[in-house]
Amino acid sequence: MERIERMKARILHAPDQPGVYFFKDEHGAVLYVGKARSLRDRLRSYFSPAGLNTRTMRMINAADDFSFLVTDSEVEALIIESNLIKSHRPKYNVRLRDDKHYPYIRITMEEDFPRVQVVRRVADDGSKYFGPFTNSGILRASLDILRQVFPHRSCSNHRFNSGRRPCLYFHTGRCQAPCDAQVSVKAYREQIDGLLKFLSGQTRELMDTLKEKMDGAAEDLDFESAARYRDQLEALNQFQDQQHKQSASLEDLDVVGIAANEGEVAVTILFMRDGKIVGRDHFMMHSEAQASLADIVEAVLQAYYSHALLIPQRILIPKEPPSADALTHWLSEQRGTRVFLHRPQRGEKRRLVQLATRNAKLYLQEQKAKEHDQEPIRELAQALGLPRLPRRIEGFDVSNLFGQMAVGAMVVFEEGVPVRHQYRRFRIEKVEGVDDYAMLKEVLDRRFSRYLRAKPQHEQDSSFATVPDLIVIDGGKGQLSAALEILKPLGLADIPVVGLAKQEEDIFVPDQSDPLSIAPDHAGSQLLQRIRDEAHRFAIDYHRRLRKRHGVRSILDDIPGIGPKRRNALLRAFDSPLAMAEASMDELAAVPGMTRRAAKEVKRFLLDRYQVD
C-alpha cells in the first residue's frame, strides 16, 4: 500500500499534457509503455477503484514506480511509444514476438544502372525499398517472373565493373548487360521505372503506358520495340490472371485479420490493389496476459506500419483501436495523404475482414503445431541454461588429409530443421600442415568477419546476415577453446558455444572442465548430435569431392590389398589414417568390405608410417 500511495502522490504533479509514460518494477525494468492525451488523467485511471482488467491489475501490482516524457502532440507520443516498445520490449505491452528481419526488395536508385536485390535491413542510402515480405521463396520466384518483363541486373558492383563478358542472364533475356554497354542509361532506367510502378501497385497505369508505347513504336515502324512492349503486356496480363479477382469497385486497401489465444496473437494482412488480392503477410505477436482486441489492433497498426514502406489509403480492421484519431493522423503523415481506418459492418469489405481473420486462425494453429515440434529446442535451452530458445543453430567442422585440401563446413538449423540452402563451405587458406584448431579458427573468423564487415552495407549473403543463437563445434575442450579465442576479439563472446566430442557424446561448455551430465537419449542432446553429424558429413563430402576433382591420392592407396572401395569405406569409418593406426584389429576388420588380412596390412603399414606403439 505504501508503494501505491507513493505513486498516487506523484500523479498529482503530472502535467495535463500529451506524452509517454513508463511503469517500472523495483529493479528499474520497464513493465509497460503507454501514451496519453493527458498524462495526469491517464495515470490517475490506473489507480481508480474499478474498471481495470486483469492484465492491467497485474501490471500495477508489479510496478514500483513510473516516469513520463511530455510531447507536443498525441501523434508524437504515438511515434515515441512505438520506438520505446521496440527498444525495451516491455512485458505487458502487446509486441512482435520475435525480431527477425523480413526480406525487402531494394533498388539502388543512386546508381546509373540500379541493381534489384533482396535484403533484410532498410537503410537511409537513397535506395527504394519495398516490403517487408514474410516468404523469401515466393518473393524470389515473383522477382524471377518480373525480371522477364523488366530485365535488370542484380550482380555486385565488383562483378559489374570487372570487365567480364555478359553473364547468362543477358543471354536468357533477363538482363540488358549494362556491364558491356549493351544498353543506355536512359533505356535501362525505363525498365526500372516500370518495375517501380508495378511494385507500387500502379499496374493499371503501367499497362496503359506500355500500350501507348507499343502503339507509338508500331506507328514509327519500330517493330522490334513494339514486340517487346507487346510481350511485356502479355506477361503482365498473365501474371494478373493468376491473382484472385475481387470486386472491381474496391480501392487499394489492406485488410487486417487477428486471432489470439493464451497470449499468442497471429496477424494476417491481405494486400488489395486494383480490386485484387495481390499478396498477404503473416506474423506473430505476443502478450504476457490477455489483451482486448482493440488494444491488439492498435499494437498491430503501430508495429507493422512503423516499418511498412507502402501504406494504402484505407485499412480495414476488425475493431476500432483506443487511439484511432492519433493513429489515423500518424498513418496519414507516413503516407503523405489521408489514410482511413475502417471497421466494416456488412458487405464485401466485412467479408474480406472475415477472410483475413480465418487465415490468421489457421496461421495460429500452424504456429502452435510447430511449437509442439520444437520440444528438443526447449529441452536443449533448458539443459544448457540458454537465455532464449536457440531458434538458429550453426554447426562447424573441418576435414583434411595430412593437411591436403583442408576444408571447413558450416551447417544451419532453424527451429530444429536443417536449412540446406544456407550451408556454406570454406577452403582453408592460411593454415599449413595438420592443425585442426587453427583450421577451425580460420573458418569461424571468416564466417563472423563476413557478418561484421557486411553488416553496414545491407548486402550480405543471407547465411551470414545474422548471428546464431547457438554454435555447435565438432570436438571437445580444445576445439571449444579455439572457438572462444576467435569470438571474443570479434565482440561476439556472448554467443553460446558448445563442443560435442564423438567418442562418448560428451557436451562441453565454456568455463567448465567436465562435460555436462545429459543423457544420450535426451531430446536436446540428440539434436546436438544431428547437427554435429550433419556438419561432419558436409565437411567430409566437400573434402571427398575436392580430392576427386584434383586427383589427390590417399596414403591408403599405397597399402597392398586396399582398393578404392575399401579406402573409401575406411575413410568414412575413421576421421584420418592416424585414427586407423590407433584402432584395434577388430575395429578395422569390422569396416564393410574389410577382412582380417586386409586389416592386418593396414595396421602394419600405418604403424610403420606413424611410429605408433
Q: What pLDDT digit, counting tens, does each position of 95-143 carry?
A: 655 445 567 788 998 898 999 988 877 676 778 887 666 556 667 766 7
Q: Return the axis-axis angle of helices 293-305 and 74-88, rounded to nearest 10°.
A: 80
Percent of the residues in the chain that have a pLDDT greater than 70, as a whole number? 84
Closest CA to 533 of 579, 495, 570, 575: 575
The half-sphere exposure of 494 on its side-chain side, counting CA atoms within 13 A, is 4
**Which sign, positive or negative, has the C-alpha torsion 525, 530, 533, 535?**
negative
- The 10s digit of each residue's pLDDT in 470-490 is 999 998 899 999 999 999 998
pLDDT of residue 459: 45
- Dihedrals φ, ψ of 558, to 5°? -90, 0
Amino acid at 491: G
Name the amino acid, one letter, at 572: R
Flag whether the pTM goes above 0.75.
no
Q: In this predicted model, which residue has the larger pLDDT, 420 or 498?
A: 498
Residue 458 banded pLDDT, cuts 50, 70, 90 = very low
The predicted-structure confidence for 79-89, as pLDDT tens digits, reads as follows 778 777 766 77
Please name which of 373, 481, 469 lies closest in space to residue 412, comparing C-alpha atoms: 469
Return the bridge partners of 253, or none. 272, 314
d(CA 291, CA 68): 23
Contact of 478 with 446, CB cutoff 8 Å: no
Residue, of 507 and 162, whose pLDDT is higher: 507
What is the SS3 assignment for 154?
Answer: coil
> In residues, how long is the chain?
613
Cα dihedral 485, 489, 491, 493 in deg (nearest 10)? 20
370: pLDDT strictly greater than 70:
no
The yes-or-no verdict on residue 63 having pLDDT over 80 is yes
Asked whether 441 and 473 are in contact (CB, 8 A), the reply is: no
Classify 286 as helix, strand or coil. Answer: strand
pLDDT at 610 over 60: yes
User: What dihedral do alpha carbons 323, 328, 333, 337 form, nearest 10°?
Assistant: -170
CA gap 413, 392 in Å, rounded: 6
Looking at the chain, the whole-number percentage of residues with pLDDT higher than 90 is 21
Residue 297: all three cell numbers together: 489492433
Residues paired with residue 314 on neighbouring β-strands, in sequence order? 253, 340
Cβ atoms within 10 Å of 599's Cβ, excluding its own: 23
Query: In the chain, what are the domains?
Result: 2-93 (3.40.1440.10), 104-245 (no CATH), 253-372 (3.30.420), 380-548 (3.30.420.340), 553-610 (1.10.150.20)
